[in-house]
Chains A and B, each alone.
Chain A
Amino acid sequence: MSPVSTTNSGVIYQAMKNCGIRLMSALPETWLVHLIRMAEEDPEMTLVRLAKEEEGVGISAGAHLAGVKSAMLMQNHGLLASINGIVSCAQLYRIPLLMLVSYRGEFGERDPWQTEGGGVTEELLRALRIPFSYLDRPDHVAARIAKAQTLALSANKPVALLLCRDLMWEDA
C-alpha cells in the first residue's frame, strides 16, 4: 500500500472541482497517483498525461484562451523542467496557470535523488515572481486553492501551491 494519503488527495481533488477546473495536465509522480487516478475516473474531467511537464504550460494556455479552467499537476522537478514555458509563454502572454507542485526534498525526504530540487524550489518561485503558498493541512486546502485560482485569474499570471509532505504522506 502506498502511504500517499487517499483522503487528503480527495480533499484536494474536490477543491479543484469546486473551483470549476475541468482540465488537468499531469506527469505522474508518487505523491500525485491518487489525484491522477481521480481525474482519470471523473467523466467531467479532461486529463492530459504529458511526456514532459513544460507541455502542460501550452495546454493550459490553450484551454484558458478557450475559456476552460485548468490545473497542472507536477513534481517540483517538473517545475524546473517547465521554466522556459512559464516565462516565454505564460508570463510573456499574461496567461494564468494554477500549478500544484509536489514539494519533494523538504524535511522528511528519504529518497536521496529528490533532495536537490527541494532546496531550490522556493527561491526559484521567488526569482520568477510566482506567488505561492503551501498545502500542508487538509482544513485549509479548499480555501487556498480557491484563493490561488482567484489571484491567477485576476492577475493573469502563474501561481503555485506546494503540496507538502504533511498533507500528502500518511506516515510523515
Chain B
Amino acid sequence: MTRLDALNAIYSRLEPRVVVTNMGAVAAELQSIGHRPNFFYLQHAMGLASSMGLGIALSKPDRHVIVLDGDGSVLMNLGGLTTLARYRPRNLTHVVFDNESLLSVSTARGDFPTATSTGSDLARIAAAAGVPRTITVSTIDALVQALDEAIAAGDLATIVAKVEAVGPPAYVTDLSLLENRFQFQRYLRS
C-alpha cells in the first residue's frame, strides 16, 4: 500500500478528530487530500509528534487524538513509547507509517533504509513498552479495520502500517508553519 492511498482510506476517520503528523511526506500528502483546522503538521523535531499528541490527549480528554508518525521519527524517540504507555491516554491512537526508510532525504527508493528494514519491529517494541493494543498491517482494509477497532476499544493503540517508500513530488506546501500552528490552537481552544 502507499501512504497516500492509506490516508485517503482513513481520511473520513481523521476528519472529525485531532490529528498531529510528523514531518515530510505524510504532512504534504495529507494536505494534498485536504487540510483542516484540526490537523497539525510538526515539520521538524523528529520524534516529538507522539509527545505532542500525549500533551494534547492529557489536556483534552474529551477529544480523540490521532498521531500520524513515521518509522524514522519513532526510532528517534523510542523512550516516548514508554511514556505513552505509562500514561495510557485512552483517547490517543498512534499510527506509524513504516516505509523502512528516511524517504525525504532519499533520491531513489531505499537510499537510506532505517532499522525497520533489517528486522526492528515497531509494533513489538510498542507492545514491549506497554502499549496495550498493537498491530502491524500491510493492506488498506486491515489498516481501516485496525483503526476502527482501536477507536471503538477506547484505549491507547499503536498501529504500524507498512507502506511503500514513495512520497509526494514536493514537501513544501503553501500552508505556513505558523498559520497552521495558530489555526490549530484556535481550533483546540474553541
Q: Which residues of A contact B (CB under 8 A)?
A: 23, 46, 48-52, 54-68, 70, 84-85, 88-89, 92-95
Given A23-B58, A65-B56, check contact A48 B83 (CB 8 Å). Answer: yes
Given contacts A48-B83, A51-B83, 16 further A-B contacts (CB under 8 A): A48-B58, A49-B83, A51-B82, A52-B77, A52-B80, A55-B80, A57-B48, A58-B50, A59-B58, A62-B51, A65-B56, A67-B188, A67-B189, A88-B45, A92-B43, A93-B42
Contact A48 B87 (CB under 8 A): yes
Q: Give the Cβ gap from A125 to chain B, nearest Cβ, in Å.
A: 19
Residue on B nearest A84 in the bound complex, by CB: B45
Main secondary structure of the interface of B (DSSP, over half): helix
Count residues of B near A (Cβ-Cβ below 8 Å): 34
In the complex, what residues of B have CB within 8 A of residue A23's CB?
55, 58-59
Expressed in whole angstroms, the Cα–Cα distance for A95 and B56 within the complex equals 14
Contact A55 B79 (CB under 8 A): yes
Q: Give the Cβ gap from A139 to chain B, nearest Cβ, in Å.
A: 33
Given A48-B58, A48-B87, A66-B188, check contact A94 B53 (CB 8 Å). Answer: no
Expressed in whole angstroms, the Cα–Cα distance for A46 and B58 within the complex equals 8
Q: Give the Cβ gap from A122 to chain B, nearest Cβ, in Å.
A: 24
Please report which residues of chain B, range 47-78, place their CB below 8 angstroms from some CB of chain A when the two chains form the complex: 47-60, 77
In the complex, what residues of B have CB within 8 A of residue A52's CB?
77, 79-80
Identify the interface centre among B56, B79, B178: most chain A CB within 10 Å of its CB. B56
In the complex, what residues of A have CB within 8 A of residue B42's CB?
58, 89, 93
Expressed in whole angstroms, the Cα–Cα distance for A167 and B185 within the complex equals 36
Would you give 14 A-B contacts (Cβ < 8 Å), ordered by A? Answer: A48-B83, A54-B48, A55-B83, A58-B48, A62-B51, A62-B52, A62-B54, A65-B56, A67-B188, A89-B48, A89-B52, A92-B44, A93-B177, A94-B181
Contact B51 A66 (CB under 8 A): no
B40 at the interface (CB under 8 A from A): yes
Expressed in whole angstroms, the Cα–Cα distance for A85 and B56 within the complex equals 17
In the complex, what residues of A have CB within 8 A of residue B17's CB?
none
Q: Give the Cβ gap from B94 to chain A, nearest Cβ, in Å.
A: 13
Residue on B nearest A58 in the bound complex, by CB: B51
Closest 6 CB pairs of A and B: A62-B55, A58-B51, A51-B79, A58-B48, A88-B44, A66-B59
B86 at the interface (CB under 8 A from A): yes
Contact A48 B45 (CB under 8 A): no
B39 at the interface (CB under 8 A from A): no
B184 at the interface (CB under 8 A from A): yes
Residue on B nearest A70 in the bound complex, by CB: B55
Given A54-B47, A66-B188, A93-B177, check contact A48 B56 (CB 8 Å). Answer: no
Given A55-B77, A55-B79, check contact A92 B55 (CB 8 Å). Answer: no
In the complex, what residues of B have CB within 8 A of residue A94's CB?
178, 181
Expressed in whole angstroms, the Cα–Cα distance for A70 and B77 within the complex equals 21
